[in-house]
Amino acid sequence: MQGPVLVVGAGAMGAGIAQVCAQAGREVTLVDVDQGVLDGALERMRPSLEKLAKKGNIRETPGIVLRRVRTVLSADGAAEPQPEAVLAIEAVPEDPELKRRILKAMEGAVSSTALIATNTSGVPVTALAESLQEPGRFLGLHFFNPPALMRVVEVIRSERTTTESFDAAVALVRSLDRDPVQVQQDLPGFVLNRIAMTASNEAIRLVQEGVATAEDVDRGVKGAFGWRMGPLETADLVGLDVVLAARGGIFDQTGDPRFEPPALLRDLVDQGHLGRKSGRGFYDYSDGEGDD
């Protein structure tokens, strides 16, 4: 499926998804309700692309890639008509009602043959499908943060997704030079988040109970298991408020104690210590501590 891509939501994930699509040679329309967010998305893309170019990971110059990204300011977040788009994906905050509204608008903006997707990490894909007139072409495409560096994308089948749409989405992800993980059931947390959350929760509890420091936990995990980042470093990067919301959502859906947010995570968020974006989380970033 060659053709343009529509991305609604220009935050960290939406901007990253837009960059990945542009790197793969696709024209991208990036939509948001805030001009500052749109400007910031482009500003973040350039240094990311420059780093990738220096490492030889992209064939074109950053300027050529960026010219494929067109930003559109929309007062209500809805998309303008995109009849040539082959994929429309929302990357707005994890608010089910907001996502349903955006998905409905996206469906009206693209042709009847385009795939429609959500980048949610915690909202059931099947529940979001209820907002669409043609739920068979809707599914989850779960990119990981930062999308420009993380090569895996979960392709999640809802109860309504057709086999044709699912297979087309798998092929599209491969065309973006990403590795699709095929998730055949719409399970809370999908596949990789369920694995990562249980490991991360245990890491937080070990710090909470004074068994080991955050530094020792992260260093040990990276050294023993080959992770690029430790679970606590990763949580700080994503944002502890985002981590808490996602984890709490899955716990509420399942009641499974493996996903219950640890007290230390709740305490840090209550204190406003949200990770890198606030200057402090499991690490203190005010003087560079915790940076690689």
Indicate which CATH number applies to the domain containing 96: 3.40.50.720
Residue 188 lies in a domain: no
232 in the same domain as 126: no
* Domain count of the fold of the chain: 2
Band of pLDDT at residue 288, cut at 50, 70 and 90 = low
Using an 8 Å Cβ cutoff, are 89 and 141 in contact? yes
Q: Is residue 15 part of a domain?
A: yes
Q: Which of 90, 131, 142, 201 is catalytic?
A: 142
Asked whether residue 251 falls in the same domain as residue 116, the answer is no
Tell me whether residue 284 is in a domain: no
Calpha distance 228→225 (Å, rounded) = 9
Helix orientation angle between 192-208 and 214-225, rounded to the nearest 10 degrees: 140
Question: CATH number for the domain including 209?
Answer: 1.10.1040.10
Q: Is 205 found in the same domain as 95? A: no
Q: Determine which one of 48, 119, 121, 201 is catalytic.
A: 121
Q: Answer yes or no: are the C-beta atoms of 69 and 30 closer than 8 Å.
A: yes
At which of 132, 150, 183 does a domain end?
183
Indicate the average pLDDT of the chain.
94
Based on the residue annotation, tell me whether 142 is a catalytic residue of this protein: yes
159/203 same-domain check: no
Is 162 domain-assigned? yes
Given a cut of 80, whether residue 1 has pLDDT beyond it is no
Residue 129: pLDDT over 50:
yes
Task: Tell me: do 104 and 219 sit in the same domain.
Answer: no
Domain with 256 in it: 193-278
Domain boundary among 183, 218, 234: 183
Q: Which of 164, 166, 177, 162 is nearest to 141 (CA)?
A: 166
Task: Please report, for residues 124, 189, 244, the alpha-carbon distance to residue 284 in angstroms, rounded to integers and kept in the order given.
Answer: 34, 29, 19
Looking at the structure, tell me whether residues 265 and 242 fall in a common domain: yes
Say whether both 237 and 117 belong to one domain: no
Q: Are residues 51 and 179 in the same domain?
A: yes
Cα distances from 81 to residues 31, 72, 105, in angstroms, run: 12, 12, 10
Residue 41 lies in a domain: yes
In a domain, 260, yes or no: yes
Does residue 233 lie in a domain region? yes
Measured between alpha carbons, how far is residue 41 from residues 76, 118, 205, 230 in Å? 18, 19, 35, 26
Boundary of a domain, candidates 183, 207, 233? 183
Q: What is the pLDDT of residues 9-36, one digit of tens each?
A: 999 999 999 999 999 999 999 999 999 9
Judge if 168 and 272 occupy the same domain.
no
Mean pLDDT of 255-277: 97
Average pLDDT on 223-247 reads 93
Domain match, 126 and 257 both: no
* Candidate list 158, 193, 200, 201, residue with the active-site label: 193
Kindly name the residue from 154, 165, 200, 273 that is annotated as catalytic. Answer: 154
Reported pTM: 0.87
Assigned domain for 257 exists: yes
